[in-house]
Structure 1
Amino acid sequence: MPVKVAVNGSGTIGKRIVDSVLLNKDFKLVGVAKYKPDYQAYLMIEKGIPVFVPRDRAGEFINSGIEPSGYIDYLFEEADLIYDASPGGKGVLNKKIYEKHGKPVVFQGGEDPEIAEISYSTFCNYSDAINKKNVRVVSCNTTGMLRLLCILEKEYGVKKALAVIIRRAADPKEDNRGPVNSILLDPPEIPSHHGVDARTVAPWLNITSAAVVVPTTLMHMQFIEVELKSPVKKDEVLEVLGRYRRFLLIDSARTGIDSTSKLMELARDAGRMRGDIYENSVFIDTVKIEDTRLYLFQGIHQESIVIPENMDVAYAILGLEHDQYRVVEKTDSLLGVGSLEKLIKTSRHRLKGENHE
């Protein structure tokens, strides 16, 4: 029998979780919790997705032409697993409701680590999430860092790392956020929360992070410096990362893809839903090795990079699969993770001939 899944919220992450659940034959979407009759609610009704609402707001939905499938408490009671995709900070309030229903919950990185039994990233601690009741999938930037660093730890050992994060100011729909014409220290101190958060998943990790916000909505960019425990060569590192679909290795010199805007254009042209990029976008021209020290830039699409981990963790929480690599293979195939890498490799000559000015 498919696992019955409820999603609380339909924002940037919630709507993507909904789409992923609908693709997965192992899951059945029971419904989505909505709190106001906005365009997302209309779209879900049009798609045949059951919408559940608070009891005291049902009339507001009905008056707006949206017929709810029921009340939110019914939704949570019916589900085997709940995804909390509410705005950051709301999860801690929702947790009290979930506990009444006794259902396992996946929280998102906008919540404090204390909300869950563990914070999670697949390549770091999949086995630790098996049969847990509450798990927090870490944020987009932390997910991108941990994918890279936990693989490097497995292959070579990591002594310490530095991450400098150039953050997007807002998601595309968030027209009330800034800065508009500035580079903002975020926070105005070192370290930023990203490295601290990474250690909630990988306590062994000696990492310092710093971040600034810039006026773009497209993606984050990370500069990563890693001191490894043994000397490596560039080709070796690229070969290791190339084994994983969740790394998109971009040869800027050959393809002309040297910016976040071109990456997003690639994803849209390739037919990715919403132009999503689930992979760490590693610019291989920036990969530099000095003995045991590794440097690189990687792009992080904040809207979608955590979606694979959100799918993986359900198999762990529910005890459906103990082998993380089988789960990763299933999730990657389901979402088409890795397909952009194939497109780039087969299109290099065409892309090189285009005008990229």
Structure 2
Amino acid sequence: MRKTPLLVFVVLAAVASACSSGGDGNPTPATGSTPATVAQPSSTPKPDCAAGYLAQFTLRQKLAQLLTVGVTGRADAMDVVRSEQVGGIFIGGWTDPSLLGAGQIEQVKQAAKAPLMVTIDEEGGRVSRVRYLIGPAPSARTTAQSSTPEQFYEATLTRGRALKDIGITVNFAPDVDVSAQPDDSVIGDRSFSDDPAVVTRYADAYIRAMREVGVGTVMKHFPGHGSGSGDSHRGAVRTPPLERLRTVDLVPYRDLVGSGAGVMVGHLDVPGLTTPDVPASISPEAMRLLREGTGYGAAPFNGPIFTDDLSGMAAITDRLSIEAAVEAALVAGADNALWISTDAVSAVLDHLEAAVTAGRLPVAQVDASVLRMAAFKGALPRC
């Protein structure tokens, strides 16, 4: 019998609940205003559950499953999915709106060997990519000032259904940054509050509602952008020391780590955590902090870790090429690398294949990330 690496067994245990529930990826949400929780697995699924899923991919296609790339429209999306089998596409402000109409996105999904993530960052307020299709929504800060968490939950149910109806499967929201910055600053009104307890309550309502309608969520920007100095789109961002983040910025992650949401790691320099010129998005120490949880009083995190955009933000592009940045992120422990175009997909995959061959990126680690992404997408078979 073919041996299964230990790391894959560990991931199998973490995703057992997805298998035992038939792989729908959407456990029953919690009720009330307390943080949602995911049912713990009662047993470890058989390795065959994972082996059959992994066997459908070549090494290159496994690596492609760990990429999410921005697309300009139907032709661009269809080409990158058919040719490279990327795991996800990203809908940005530059994407042709017709991709989300007349069944076009379904045609793209059908070109994928495994369920395709169709992602967006639809936070409301000024970060809203499809307001022209589903209408506007207030910013997070305005929401927390004008409605209760349960009112927000109900409003998010409606918005989540609208996103699902146009083909979105994963929303890179909520923003769980804790911030008192002015509304128009880089985080500003994207934050619910400068009180981590308030952020947690509203983020929990958002995650529960989106889960109920079948849209995945991703909390951001770990380990906390809310008090950072600068804008990672324009250059390096330095946060307060890790010691302070533990008591403020990391509180929502600590309380919501079992909610079923993924986590996006920011391009953040964190004193006491990251090393010079290695922001959190490519930092093994930052990934370990999130994955293990012990460094900030949280349970272990077994869900998918996403990077922030690796190609359009100076905090990373001033330091690394896209090929090197994607490798660094995956080697550090991210499960999915995000960037905003399809231009470099083939070059990135060539580079990643070379990294695997050279032993810099272990195959077992690749397989583990593929399985985490599969569980998040509800793609694992019944076992």
Which bracket does the TM-score occupy, shorter chain normalised? 0.3 to 0.5
* TM-score between the two structures when normalised by the length of structure 2: 0.31
Q: Larger Rg: 1 or 2?
A: 1
Q: Which has the higher contact order (CA 8 A, sep 6+)?
A: 2
Structure with a larger share of its residues in strand: 1
